[in-house]
Amino acid sequence: MALVTVTIDGQTVQVPAGTSVLDAARSIGIKIPALCHDPDLTPVGACRLCVVEIENMRNLPASCVTTCTEGMVIRTNTEKVIEARRTILELLIANHPLDCLTCEKSGSCLLQEYCYEYGVTSDIYAGEKHSYPIEDSNPFYLRDMNKCIVCGRCIRACEEIVGKSILDFAYRGFNTKVGPFMDTPIGESECVYCGSCVAVCPTGALTEKDMVGKGRKWEAKKVKTVCPYCGTGCTIDLNVKDGKVIGVTGNPDGDVNGRFLCVKGRFGYQFIHSDKRLKTPLIKKDGVFKEATWDEALGLVASKLKEVKEKSGPDSIGFLSSARCTNEENYLLNKFARAVVGTNNIDHCARL
Amino acid sequence: MTNSINEITGADFILACGTNTADCHPVISYKVNQAVRKGAQLVVVDPRVTDFAMTASEHLQLKPGTDIALFNGMMNVIISEGLWNKEFVENRTEGFEALKEAVAKYTPEYAAEITGVPADKIREVARAYAKAEKATILYTMGVTQHTCGTHNVFAVANLAMLCGQIGRESTGVNPLRGQNNVQGACDMGALPNVLTGYQSVTDPAVREKFGKAWNCTISEKPGLTVGEMMSAAAHGDIKAMFIMGENPVLSDADAGHVVEGLKKLDFLVVQDIFLTETAQYADVVLPAACFAEKDGTFTNTERRVQRVRKAVEPPGQALADWEIICRLATAMGYPMSYASPSEIMDEIAGLTPSYGGISFARLEEKGIQWPCPTPDHPGTPFLHAEKFSRGLGKFNPVEHVPPDEAPDAEYPFILSTGRRLYHYHTGTMTRKGMLGEFFPADYLEISCEDAERLGINDGDKVRVATRRGAMEIAAKVTDTVPKGVLFTSFHFAETPVNMLTNPKFDAIAKIPELKVCAARVEKA
Ligand code: SF4
Ligand code: SF4
Ligand code: SF4
Ligand code: SF4
Ligand code: FES
């Protein structure tokens, strides 16, 4: 692939032709703030927070939609650039409810992070605020359009990743709002609740409902593991606080899925802490289950299996292994059936 | 899958057969969407008009159970129009003449008669598949859950080989597996005829290797499949069963027969995370840890072995399944002890050539796709690059055979089963929490035409019956199913459709014919 050489803040770097200025800068560790840009989505150049100065170009181009060309000289942190970014942030928070104290997104909100970085403190433009009701029409996620910065990431995720195209901009100007066609409630749309829009939203406008009040973003430990449902094998992050799974999020390093999941993988974790989980071994006596210790239960199983094996032979015992247990566990049950009991009567529900 | 999930985005033609990908493998449907956005053509073959089928540029709405006729019809077009990949067929395959002969009678018109798909559409799709630079075939249970399931798969493979759409990136024959570790369970020898990595129990060298490693004698007699075990239990030949993490009472065909077998057992142990419908019949129930409470690996549908990590402690005294098995083996006088699942994987790698290079240390960063024979092998994103596992790819010509049960005067409908987006398998996990709240009960899809004729309104309670059983369920009057077809899922114990399904199975893979059985429906 052809390479082009550009200079960014005095550093020279070679990047493949077609690379955006934003990506080129990020590839050498130079931070440029970006709100509407998302690495997994088409760049649109809408928020203009990512502006930079480029020699021989008038105005300040948005780096996410500007392609590197040979010999380009780029500056990312001049007075002019910083001033422009600050103004954009001030305008954004002019009609933003500054609810960071209780906002679920606090700690992982890009708007909050950039305001902090650029020292944008209060609303000097003190503009008119929206007062949309928080939309709570489904069990999975909340939509607080007062916190929406109309970056359009959710629209693009729904269209470009999921292929559903549920969302679009409605109305104009100050009243621009993101939602299903004709601004109907999500609950009445064809939404499949995959949460991809929630995953890409840079602010607290879209949040997982079940995670509300369960803990701050920075308190949750993320444990990278694999979705327990279908054979796609998406990587998920279990968000754990005080020994409990409080939610599931995608992991950008997911081999198959990146950050994107479906409704089962993202929202189907509540069974983990269900009070219906089995907590002790049970032995049936006179048709009723009685709690038992492991020693009692395993002692009984061992003696019964031995008895049947001795009386009727190993092939009178059958094993069903599980497509939901790990490889190691399937291996051990296979070993148990074949080596301990001595039968090949082992199968699982692969065919179903 | 012969190829990888992410390769789908690079395909320029996607033939999705009997897969409602958007509901059953949603993230794979995202890849299909990305390919389509880049200009790929998507053709969906499905008797139902699913949302996924609606996104296709062509939807071939074939009659249930007629897949072979469709594929043979496509191959007939490809051969008669000289569109097959001559170089590939010449160098990489054998048995072409036999295939040519077998598909000769499946003219598009003849195939159209059987499948209900117009002959011109069969021609168009056949040409597009053959001419595509990189065409991939995705399929699921819609293809395999038939008495001719194995033959359906042969037909798919014949088509791919005929056009050389295999052994390269973004091509291949790609079964999408339904459960997260169904691939791994097969790989690990949870099958009656093979040990790990599909090493046959009938091969003396294999038996010797495992016998030595496990200090035992491996029986040379292949064991019974689930369905056979249930019959044997009913006949009193199987006397005790140990069921780990499965719920056959809801998931298996002709569940009445399963229950009969389980009841007849002298001793049943069920090891699970909930007291499932199956566990109710147990003599001893052992509480297991769920995926979030243990370490280990799962292997996904593209053969990628990935790390499962413990995040929280199991409830009460529940233990990881591997710990329970170790304790039980020890109690039976066969000491089994491992410090961690990582040690178990090392043992697996030592005995299984395709997992030979896999270790937890390597999986820390990234999953690895088998075959991965050695510690420095990068894994295999797609199979059959240079040659097929048996050398030359063999065409296995197959004939269309009608489903075991055809609709008749008494049972005039075809009942078909599948999955719903919001639920998984027998619902034990998904019915607890938000998903259950959102989708609390199932329904029976029936076409507008049939509903009108039978005086059934949307939401009415109906009684659906087959030769094996009957159940009541709410009707959903919809355009999703064609006239004469009924559809529901097997996720709900309240509407246990597997009391009704046909356990008649495919003679080779022994998969029951869950996609087609004759049924009757009336207002309850
Ligand atoms: S969306 Fe961000 S800036 Fe707005 S209240 Fe929430 S955390 Fe604060
Ligand atoms: S949840 Fe998924 S389908 Fe629904 S709007 Fe968001 S991205 Fe679209
Ligand atoms: S909801 Fe979030 S992602 Fe969507 S436009 Fe608003 S801020 Fe952007
Ligand atoms: S997130 Fe959805 S698509 Fe991915 S593995 Fe889980 S169930 Fe399958
Ligand atoms: S991030 Fe570049 S314009 Fe928004």
| CB distance A262 to ligand 2 below 6 Å | no
pLDDT of residue A221: 94
Q: Tokens 């999986």, residue? A: B363
pLDDT of residue B506: 55
pLDDT tens, residue by residue, B255-283: 778 898 999 999 999 999 999 989 999 99
pLDDT of residue B385: 82
The architecture (CATH level 2) of B178-220+288-374 comes to: 3-Layer(aba) Sandwich (3.40)
pLDDT tens, residue by residue, A291-325: 999 999 999 999 999 999 999 999 999 999 998 89
CB–CB of A270 and B313 under 8 A? no
Give me the amino acid identity at A289: F
Q: List, in sequence order, every residue forming a beta bridge with B139; answer none if it has no partner.
A: B17, B175
SS3 B461: strand
Ranges A119-123, B43-47, B86-90, B163-167: which has the least confidence: A119-123
**Which residues of chain B does A292 touch, with a Cβ-Cβ cutoff of 8 Å?**
284
Query: In angstroms, how far is CA B428 from the centroid of its own chain?
Result: 19
Angle between helices B96-103 and B149-162 (to 10 degrees): 110
Q: Is the pLDDT of residue A350 over 70?
A: no
pLDDT of residue B311: 96
Tokens of B47: 């008797």
Average pLDDT score over chain A: 92
Ranges A268-272, B87-91, B444-448, B492-496: which has the least confidence: B492-496
Q: Is the pLDDT of residue B287 over 90?
A: yes
Backbone angles phi, psi at B436, to 5 degrees: -65, -35
Ranges A252-266, B167-181, B264-278, B358-372: which has the least confidence: B167-181
| CB distance A199 to ligand 4 below 6 Å | no
Q: Report whether CATH 3.40.30.10 matches the domain B224-286.
A: no
Closest CB to B332: pick one of A192, A255, A340. A340
Question: Range(s) for CATH 3.40.228.10 in chain B?
Answer: 5-176, 224-286
pLDDT tens, residue by residue, A38-66: 999 999 999 999 999 999 998 899 999 99
Distance, in Å, from the CA atom of B511 to the CA atom of B232, rounded to the nearest integer, reads: 17
Q: Minimal CA–CA distance to A295: which of B282, B286, B239, B339?
A: B286
Q: Is the pLDDT of residue B509 over 70?
A: no
Q: Is the pLDDT of residue B146 over 60?
A: no
pLDDT of residue B244: 94
Q: Is the pLDDT of residue A342 over 70?
A: yes
ipTM: 0.91
Q: Tokens 């990628």, residue? A: B304
SS3 B193: coil
pLDDT of residue B202: 92
pLDDT band per the 50, 70, 90 thresholds, residue A176: confident
pLDDT tens, residue by residue, A205-229: 999 999 988 888 888 999 999 999 9
- Who has greater pLDDT, B511 or B413? B413
Give me the amino acid identity at B96: F
CB–CB of A308 and B299 under 8 A? no
Q: What is the enclosing helix (H) or strand (E) of A141? A: strand A141-143
Average pLDDT score over chain B: 88
Rounded alpha-carbon distances, angstroms, from residue B500 to A58, A192, A351, B462, B489: 73, 30, 17, 14, 12
> What does pTM read for this prediction?
0.91
Q: Is the pLDDT of residue B345 over 70?
A: yes
Other CB atoms within 10 Å distance of the CB of residue B467: 14
pLDDT tens, residue by residue, B87-98: 998 889 888 898
Closest CB to A301: pick one of B179, B328, B509. B328
Tell me the CA–centroid distance for residue A51 and ligand 5, in Å. 7
CB–CB of B430 and A284 under 8 A? no
Residues in B 430-469 with any Cβ partner in A closer than 8 A = 430, 432-435, 437-438
Question: Range(s) for CATH 2.40.40.20 in chain B?
Answer: 413-523
Interface test mutation site (partner A, options B199, B271, B284, max chain A beta carbons within 10 A): B284
pLDDT of residue A352: 46
Q: Is the pLDDT of residue B350 over 60?
A: yes
pLDDT of residue A215: 86
Question: Range(s) for CATH 3.40.50.740 in chain B?
Answer: 178-220+288-374
Q: Is the pLDDT of residue B242 over 90?
A: yes
Distance, in Å, from the CA atom of B488 to the CA atom of B462, rounded to the nearest integer, reads: 13
Residues in B 253-292 with any Cβ partner in A closer than 8 A = 266-267, 269, 272-275, 282-288, 290-292
Rounded alpha-carbon distances, angstroms, from residue A60 to A36, A187, B324: 17, 41, 65
Q: Which domains does chain A have, with CATH numbers?
A: 3-77 (3.10.20.740), 222-271 (2.20.25.90), 278-311 (no CATH), 313-352 (no CATH)
Asked if the C-beta of B248 comes within 8 angstroms of chain A's C-beta atoms, the answer is: yes
Give the rounded percent of residues in chain A with a pLDDT score beyond 90. Answer: 76
Dihedral sign, Cα of residue A178, residue A180, residue A186, residue A191: negative
CATH number for the region B5-176 comes to 3.40.228.10
Q: Tokens 């409605």, residue? A: A170
Closest CB to A308: pick one of B187, B240, B334. B240
Class of domain B413-523: mainly beta
**Mean pLDDT to the nearest integer, A149-163:** 95
